[in-house]
Chain A
C-alpha cells in the first residue's frame, strides 16, 4: 500500500520532470527511439526472411520424406557419399510394396534440358520425371489442364505439365494447352500448367515455377534410363507420425538395399525440417550478429539517458534534500529516479515501435513479407524499460545516498 503511493508519486514526478525539460527529454528519447527502431526492424526483417523461406519450401510438404542418394544439407566432405549406389526405380517399387502405411509413394528422376516453343528458347530447365502420385505428395495442382495420369506413365506418352514461369516465358498470352514444345530434341504436348508455387531461389534453392513435369517412363525413354538416379518421395500418414514413419522408411530401405546390421545407411532421408534447420543454423548467426550491431545503438541511447539522469540528479539535489528531510527513504528516492529514466526509455520505446511499424510496412511493400508480431512488441517494451532501469540505476543510487544536510544546503 505504502509503496503504491510512492510509485504513484514517482510517476507524477517523472511526468513532471520530462514535461519540464521538453527539448532535453526529446533529444534523450531520440537515442532510445533510434535504438528501438534498429532492433525492432532487425527482428521483423529476420522474421520476414524466415517467413519467406518457410513459404518457399512449403511446396515440399511437412509430412513428406525424400529418400535420396545424398542429403540436401551436409557438413564435411561430399566424397563420403560418392561411393553410394544409385537409388533405382526398383528400390522405389519395393518400397511402395513394403511400406503399407505410406499415403503415397512417388519416384522421381531429373534431367536438365533446353525448352523451345516456336522461336523462344529457355535454357537449362529442370525436367522432372514423375508419376500421377506427384500431386499427392507435393503441394500444388494444375491451374489449367490436367496433371500426368497413370496412362501417360504406362504408355510413355510424350506429354508435359509446365510450371507457371515456363508458361509466362514461353507462351506469354497464348493458351499453352495442347501446344507442342521441344524438350531437348523431343516433342512434348503440353497438357497442364501448374499453379504458381513460388521460389526458394532467393536462398539458392529450387525455383518451383521453373520446372516441367513429364511421365517418369517418358523421361527415361527420351533422356536415358541407364545409371539414372531416383528420388523416392513418400508421404507419411500424418505430420505427427512423421518421426515414426521415418524409422519405418529407414528400416525398409535397409532391407531393400540389403545392408548388414553394422553397415551405415547408403541413402539419405531428406525433409522440409532439414532445410528449415539448416536455414535456422545459418540465419540464426546472421540475425544474432545483426541484433548485436543494432543493440549498440540502443546502448548508446542508454548512455545518453544515464548522462541526462546524472544531470537531473545534480539539478535536483536540493529537492532530494527536501524530500529526505520530510521523510523520504532511500528506496523512495531510488524509485523516483528509476521511474524517471524508465519513463523516458518507455516513451522512446513506444515511439520507436510506432516508427518501426512504418518501416516494416515499407519492407513489406518492397522486400519481404515482414510483420511486427506481438512478441516483438512485448520484447521491445521490456527492452526499453530495462535500458531505462540499467541506465538509471547508478544516478538513482547516487541520489538515494545523498546526505540530506548537504543536499539541503546545495545551491
Chain B
C-alpha cells in the first residue's frame, strides 16, 4: 500500500473556538493509482491535501506513507519525507523567481544532498520529460503559464517521489494549456507514477480513475471512475 490514512481528524483553533476541518477521514491508495479529491470550499479538501503532502500533521488518527507513520513526525523529519516521497504541483506554480529552470528543478536534490553531477543528469532528464530542454536557462518570468507548470512538474518528478500531489494544477491556466498539462500528468500515470489530484472541476477529475468527494470534513463518496474502466 502506497498510502494508508485511518480515521484522521484535524482541529483548528480560531480564536477561542475549535473548528473541526476533518472529522474522521480514512483513505488508502495503491501504487500507480490516479485519484482525484473533490469537494466544495470548506469541505476539508485543502486540509486533507496538506496532511497527505506532509505539510501538516493530523490531530488524531494514523497516516502511513509506504509503511512509515508520518502522523507523529517532527518538522525536520516531515521535511525529509516531503523531499523524498512527495512531489508537489501547485496551482500558482510556486517556482523560485530568481532561479532559472534548471536550478528550480535541481533544488529538491540540493536538499537531499546529491552530488552536482548526479543533480545535473537527473534534472536534465526530468526537464526533457516535460519537453523544456531548450528553456533550461530561462527564468520563470520568461516562460508561459503552461511552461511554468511543466517546470513545476519536472521539479515534482525529479526525486522520484511515492506520490505526485497536484493541487488545482490547471487552475491558473486557460483550457487548452490546462488540457496539455493534464495530458502530461496522464502520461506520468501511465509511466507508473502515483498521482493525487485536488480539484473542484469535474472534467479535470475525470482524468483520474478514482474520485473521492469530501463534505464537511467527512468522505462523502469514494468511487472508481467508470468511464476509465469502461474504455
Contact = CB atoms under 8 A, between A and B. Distances in A.
B140 to A, nearest CB: 11
Contact of A325 (B82, B112, B113, B159): B82
B143 interface: no
B98 interface: yes
A332 interface: yes
A16 B80 CA distance: 26
Given A5-B110, A9-B110, A330 B83 contact: no
Interface string B156-169: 00010000000000
Given A5-B113, A318-B94, A326 B76 contact: no
A20 B95 CA distance: 17
Contact of A408 (B94, B107, B111): B94
A1 interface: yes
Contacts of A319: 96-97
Residue with the highest number of chain B CB atoms closer than 10 Å, among A16, A325, A326, A405: A326
Nearest to A404: B55
A92 B88 CA distance: 94
Nearest to A322: B94
A2 B80 CA distance: 13
B217 interface: no
A17 B108 CA distance: 20
Contact of A327 (B50, B84, B96, B98): B84
Interface of B: 50, 53, 55-56, 75-76, 79-80, 82-84, 88, 90, 94-99, 107-108, 110-116, 155, 159
Contacts of B114: 5
A325 B110 contact: no
21 contacts: A1-B113, A5-B116, A6-B111, A9-B107, A9-B110, A16-B99, A17-B98, A20-B98, A322-B95, A324-B82, A325-B82, A325-B94, A326-B108, A326-B111, A327-B80, A327-B111, A329-B80, A329-B111, A330-B75, A405-B55, A408-B90
A20 B98 CA distance: 9
Contacts of B76: 329-331
A196 interface: no
A2 B118 CA distance: 13
A404 B108 CA distance: 15
Interface in A322-350: 322-332
Given A329-B80, A405-B50, 15 more contacts: A6-B111, A6-B113, A16-B99, A321-B94, A324-B82, A325-B82, A326-B82, A326-B111, A327-B84, A329-B75, A329-B79, A330-B76, A330-B79, A408-B90, A408-B94
A405 to B, nearest CB: 5
B147 to A, nearest CB: 18
Interface in A12-65: 16-17, 20
Nearest to A1: B113
A332 to B, nearest CB: 6
Contacts of A327: 79-80, 82-84, 108, 111-112, 159
A204 to B, nearest CB: 61
A322 B111 contact: no
Nearest to B109: A5
A319 B76 CA distance: 18
A22 to B, nearest CB: 14
Contacts of B112: 2, 327
A322 B75 contact: no
Nearest to A411: B92
A326 B56 contact: no
Contacts of B82: 324-327
